[in-house]
């Protein structure tokens, strides 16, 4: 089996030192880079959002609980897959956490083979998310090359407006619309309207 990339991190957050140590040993033996913390607060102080990583967290801990940590990460829009471990199995809680984005929910003592498989899937999910975010940032940087007028023209092209209609919308000549359209195609390095639409429609939600 190919070892996982050492640039990928598995965060462990559990107030039980024995659990942290056993998880660290298991995961490091399988080639993972591991960072462990005894509290959610310590984890948040060290968490690096740009890392490709996953989080294994205990549900019940002194101070901030695992569930509260999940809420905090959701509030920060952190792209971090989560698996909860607990000695207090609770089906409704498991369903609730999974609906909020946790990948899985394991009871102590957990099956080591299952855990290894879950971590591998989680890291793949984290890697896919990181690639997607990088592509979106790159795409947004390309769209930011456009002037405000070119962005107005692009919005109307995407809406299916004809050059004549765009000219009327913006109170400019058709020739000016054509010039803007040519500039947009050149800046975005596309040759067809289909490719132009692909870039424009795939930009991340909420971007300006």
Range name among 28-32, 104-108, 159-163 with the lowest pLDDT average = 104-108
137 falls within a domain: no
- Same domain for 125 and 195, yes or no, is no
Residue 101, domain member (yes or no) = yes
Q: Which of 132, 167, 183 is the last residue of a domain?
A: 132
CATH number of the domain that 41 lies in? 3.40.50.2300
pLDDT of res. 203 = 54
29 vs 207: CA distance, rounded Å: 42
50 to 5, 18, 122, 132, 205: CA distances (angstroms): 15, 29, 16, 12, 19
**Using 50, 70 and 90 to split pLDDT, how confident is the model at 208?**
very low
**Among residues 26, 35, 33, which one has the least CA distance to residue 4?**
33
Query: What's the pLDDT at 89?
Result: 61
CATH code for the domain of 148: 1.10.10.10
- What is the total count of domains within the chain? 2
- 68 with 127, same domain? yes
Whether 124 and 83 share a structural domain: yes
Looking at the structure, do residues 29 and 92 belong to the same domain, yes or no? yes
Residues 105 and 65 grouped into a single domain? yes
Domain, as residue range, for 26: 9-132
Q: Looking at the predicted structure, is the pLDDT value of residue 34 above 50?
A: yes
Residue 3 resides in a domain: no
Tokens of 183: 């500039």
Over residues 118-142, the mean pLDDT reads: 78
pLDDT tens figures, 159-195: 889 999 999 999 999 999 999 999 998 888 888 888 8
Element (H, E) at 165: helix 163-170
Indicate yes or no: pTM above 0.75: no
pLDDT at position 3 is 52
**What is the distance between the alpha carbons of residues 169 and 185, in angstroms, rounded to a whole number?**
20
Question: Is there a single domain that holds both residue 13 and residue 50?
Answer: yes
125 and 36 part of one domain:
yes
**Residues 150, 184 contacting (CB under 8 angstroms):** yes
Q: Are residues 73 and 148 in the same domain?
A: no
Whether 208 maps to a domain, the answer reads no
pLDDT digits 0-9 by tens, 38-79: 999 999 999 988 788 899 998 888 899 888 999 999 898 887
Structural contact between residues 180 and 156, judged by C-beta atoms closer than 8 angstroms:
no
């Amino acid at each position: 089996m190919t070892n996982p990339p050492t640039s990928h991190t598995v965060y462990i957050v559990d107030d039980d030192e024995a659990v942290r140590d056993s998880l660290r040993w298991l995961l490091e033996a399988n080639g993972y880079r591991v960072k462990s913390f005894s509290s959610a607060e310590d984890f948040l102080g060290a968490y690096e959002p740009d890392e490709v990583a996953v989080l294994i967290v205990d549900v019940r801990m002194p101070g901030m609980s695992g569930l509260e940590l999940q809420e905090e990460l959701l509030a920060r829009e952190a792209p971090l897959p989560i698996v909860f471990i607990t000695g207090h199995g609770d089906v409704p809680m498991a369903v609730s956490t999974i609906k909020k984005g946790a990948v899985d929910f394991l009871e102590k003592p957990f099956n080591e083979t299952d855990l290894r498989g879950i971590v591998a899937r989680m890291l793949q999910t984290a890697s896919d998310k990181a690639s997607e975010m990088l592509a979106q940032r790159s795409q947004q940087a390309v769209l930011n090359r456009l002037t405000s007028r070119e962005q107005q023209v692009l919005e109307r092209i995407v809406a299916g407006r004809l050059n004549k209609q765009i000219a009327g919308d913006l109170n400019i000549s058709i020739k000016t619309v054509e010039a803007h359209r040519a500039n947009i195609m050149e800046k975005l390095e596309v040759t067809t309207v289909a490719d132009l639409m692909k870039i424009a429609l795939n930009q991340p939600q909420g971007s300006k």
